[in-house]
Each structure stands twice: as structure tokens, then as C-alpha cells.
Homo-oligomer: A and B are copies of this chain.
Amino acid sequence: MAFNEQQLRVAGVQMYSLASQLFPICRSITGNGVRDTLKLLQDLIPLKIHEVPTGTPVFDWKVPQEWNIHDAYIKDADGNRVVEFRQSNLHIVNGSQDIQATMCWDELKENLHTLPDQPDWIPYRTCFHQEDWGFCLTHNQYLELESLGNEQYEVCIDATMKDGSLTYGEFFIPGETDEEVLLSSHICHPSLANDNLSGIAVATHLAQFIGTRKRRYGYRFVFAPATIGSITWISQNQDQLSKIKHGLILSLLGDAGNTTYKKTRMGNAEIDRAVQCVLSHTDADYTINEYEPFGYDERQYGSPGINLPVGCFMRTPNAQYPEYHTSADNLDLVQPQYLADSLDKLVQVIELLEGNVYPQNLKPMCEPQLGKHGLYKAFGTEGNDAEFQKAILWVLNLADSKHSLLDIAERSKIAFPVIRNATDALQDAGLISNHNSTNYLCAAETSSPVSICCDAIDPCIDHNDLSTTNSTSG
């Protein structure tokens, strides 16, 4: 384990705190919400923010106009704001056009969205690809208004859709080689905690952790709006893509569900095997899903012309929990311990990738005399020692330059860290060529691995700019 219990607890609280700070911001696929989100992350990691102008061609697409919202409400005849954007970002259909009008209930209700099956929740709705507008509200409130009859209402959406830019953030941590690991999170959802403030918080924390460690791979963190954002990033980085050897979409990482991994398009890439190897040695149940070309941005990374080995690391998958895309995907659904658990597993996956060398047995003719090398423990030893001894023999047996440590872990069914430690002991004894499998990431950190710089999160950042931020309690 990279973390002890105490460190994990601290990390969980810090990630939860970050998600809480990001929650009120009204994000969309473009606009100040995304910009403010990335600026807040810049306090934690030296993220580079990119602006790509409206109209820029990105493959089959064009970067869209920028949407910003300043206020929105429905006012009754008495001047009461019965539905109000300031109370929840979800009240407004994301992407709605500007409107100022008075209309009766029968007309208004055509533009209202509710969840009859979950009458206390506000749905999350968007209209990016057509000119439209709408409000979302709880079904109970809808019924209450409906009961008042065909009253007159003043409808106001003070929003702009005009040329601007699409904003994404990128943070690259160089490694000793040119090969890279891609970690990508979407940042376009307003006030939804699990989908995907959880992903943003875990990715940020993971970046901080990796930055403190020696590493073989470079790590490229991309924070971009879903679909058009990742398409834009890919389009702008085509000449760099071949460096990416492994990738993960980080999303839905804070709920109480078990870990779910959706495989890459290839289905048996090293990242697929690495994640499965880690999960198979945890106590918790987990689910492995086959790739399919719908879901998150693995759709883009896995398109036939890009074809990168990018899987999707989640807890309960999208659309498979009732709170998905509703106001109930909030800071109650996400909990610090689940964020911490997700982080912990991801670090184990990264450690596996870093340590996955192809060792060479330097005494390949029969077994070496382990006692002479200080590596013999009697069989029949119980517990960890016995497993370590077995790992020693497995590594010696398969260390023929053709088996990676992951191959050995899979065949022996012994956890990767035990295999890696056995390999290191064998290296120290001169029995295995020096591949430094634990040189990377597992080496002692140069600074505290969980030193997420909370002080750097400026509590005074202007949360009062209504253009991007709301308090959930209004």
C-alpha cells in the first residue's frame, strides 16, 4: 500500500473538501464555470489552462460558442421567484438561450422538466445542440404550481451564447522516459458531485502524489469538457499521442459502490491487466466490463483512428445509480472514504505499471542456492513469509526476459507488490538483472505523499460572481 490508514483518511477529507469547493460553480461545456474550476485547481497543481477559440475545426467538429449564464428565474404574478437559478445550478437547462417573457402556466410547462419517479429531485438537462431553453424542478414543486391553475409567470434567463473559446486544463509530470500515462477527467457538469467532481478531486490528488515520486513514465492529466473537450484536446495533440502507452478515464469515484473497470477497446492491454491484477487482490468485490463505444471519453480515445489503450476507472457506472444526473448526485452521495479508496487503488495501478519490468534470471540453470544468498525460508512457514518465499521461486522460474512481473503475478496469483518485492530481494542478491522495479513510485517520497496543499486553496476566491457560482443553500 502506498498509504497507511491515517494518510488515506487525510487524503479522503482533502479530496472531499476540494469537491465541496467546486460544487457551487456552474460549469458547462464552455464558459466561465470551466475556467473558474481550472483556476481553483491551479492552486493545487500547476495546471496549464488552454483556450481554443470558437470555430476552430477539431476533426469532424467545430469548437462551439461559449455559454455563460448570469441569472435565471421564474417569477409568479406576485413577484415571488418560484424557481431560481441561485438556489441550484440544475434549475436551468444547461445551454439555454436568453429569454425574457411572460407566459401562462400552460405555455410555461412545456419548458419544464421533472422526475415524476423521484419527486424530490431536480433533473440535470442540457440543450447544447439546439436553440432551446428550459427549467428543471422537483416534481413536487411542479405539482404545486400545477394546482394553482393557468397563472401568468415571468420567465427570465439572462444568458449569453457567443463566440469565445473552449477551455481545458492540462498538467504534465515528466518521467525518465518519453512514454506517458494519460489520466483524463471531464469537467463540464454543474453541481453534480460524483459525476464528476469526484474524478476531478481524485485526479488532482493523484497528480500531487505522483509529482513527489521518482517515475519511469510521464503523466499527462487532462481536465476537459466531455466529448467536445477531449476531441479538442486530441485534435490539438495529435503528434504527441503515440507517446501514450496507458490511459484511464477517471470518473464516478466517490460513491459507496464497488469499483468498476471498463476495459480499453483492445480488451487485453497492459492497463486492462494491471487494473484487474490490482482489483483481484483487494478484499472488495469489483466488476470488469467489456469496452463499448458509449460512456465517457474512452469513446474518443478508443475511436479507430486514435486507438489508444484507455480504460475507464469508476465505482458505480454512469446511469446505473438512481441519483445519476439529478440533484441527488450531491455531497451526501460522495463520501471521503470512497474517494480515498479510489485513490488508493489507482496508486496501486500506477505502481504496477511503473514496476512492471521484464526481469532476467542471472543464474537460470536450476535453482540458485537460496540459503547462500540469504533468501531461504523454510517452507511450511505460514503467512507472509511463505508467500514471499513462493514469490522468490516464481520470479526465478519465469525471469527469462519474456515474462513481465505482471505475467508472473497473474500466473502465480500472488499480489504484484509481493512479486515486486521478491524481485528486488533477488536483485539485491545479484540473482536477477537490475531493472529497478521498485526504483519508481514505490521509492520513498521526497516529500509527504499526501501533502495536498490545502492552504493553497484560497478561501477568498470570489464565489460571489453569480455568473459561475451558486451556493447550494441559496
Q: Which residues from chain A sit less than 8 Å from chain B, CB to CB?
A: 58-61, 129, 227, 230-231, 234-235, 238, 265, 292-294, 299-300, 302-307, 361, 363-369, 371-372, 376, 379, 390, 393-394, 396-400, 412
Shortest distance in angstroms between A210's beta carbon and chain B's nearest beta carbon? 27
- Beyond A231-B367, A304-B400, A366-B303, is A294–B390 a contact (Cβ under 8 Å)? yes
B265 and A397 contacting across the interface, CB-CB below 8 Å: yes
Given the complex of chains A and B, what is the CA–CA distance between A399 and B304 in angstroms? 7
Copies of this chain assembled into the complex? 3
A397 and B366 contacting across the interface, CB-CB below 8 Å: no
Shortest distance in angstroms between A91's beta carbon and chain B's nearest beta carbon? 21
Shortest distance in angstroms between A262's beta carbon and chain B's nearest beta carbon? 14
Top 10 closest pairs, chain A to chain B, by CB: A305-B364, A293-B397, A60-B368, A304-B400, A305-B365, A293-B393, A304-B364, A231-B366, A300-B366, A59-B365
Given the complex of chains A and B, what is the CA–CA distance between A305 and B306 in angstroms? 41
Given the complex of chains A and B, what is the CA–CA distance between A306 and B368 in angstroms? 13
Q: Name the B residues within 8 Å of A372 (CB-CB).
A: 60
Q: Name the B residues within 8 Å of A306 (CB-CB).
A: 364-366
Shortest distance in angstroms between A318's beta carbon and chain B's nearest beta carbon? 10
* Selected contact of A397 from candidates B303, B390, B397, B398, CB within 8 Å: B303
Chain A, interface SS category: loop
A367 and B412 contacting across the interface, CB-CB below 8 Å: no
A61 and B393 contacting across the interface, CB-CB below 8 Å: no
Shortest distance in angstroms between A6's beta carbon and chain B's nearest beta carbon? 37
Shortest distance in angstroms between A400's beta carbon and chain B's nearest beta carbon? 4
Q: Name the B residues within 8 Å of A397 (CB-CB).
A: 265, 293, 299, 302-304
Given the complex of chains A and B, what is the CA–CA distance between A129 and B373 in angstroms? 13
Given the complex of chains A and B, what is the CA–CA distance between A368 and B61 in angstroms? 7
B367 and A299 contacting across the interface, CB-CB below 8 Å: yes
Q: Name the B residues within 8 Å of A227 (CB-CB).
A: 367
Contacts A305-B363, A305-B366 known; list 5 others, CB within 8 Å.
Answer: A230-B366, A299-B393, A300-B367, A304-B396, A306-B365
| 20 pairs of residues in contact across A and B, judged by CB atoms under 8 Å | A60-B367, A60-B369, A61-B369, A231-B366, A231-B367, A234-B365, A234-B366, A235-B366, A238-B365, A292-B394, A294-B390, A299-B367, A299-B393, A302-B397, A303-B397, A304-B398, A304-B399, A305-B361, A305-B364, A305-B365
Residue of B nearest to A401 (CB): B304
Residue of B nearest to A297 (CB): B366
Q: Name the B residues within 8 Å of A368 (CB-CB).
A: 59-60
B60 and A303 contacting across the interface, CB-CB below 8 Å: no
Q: Name the B residues within 8 Å of A390 (CB-CB).
A: 292, 294
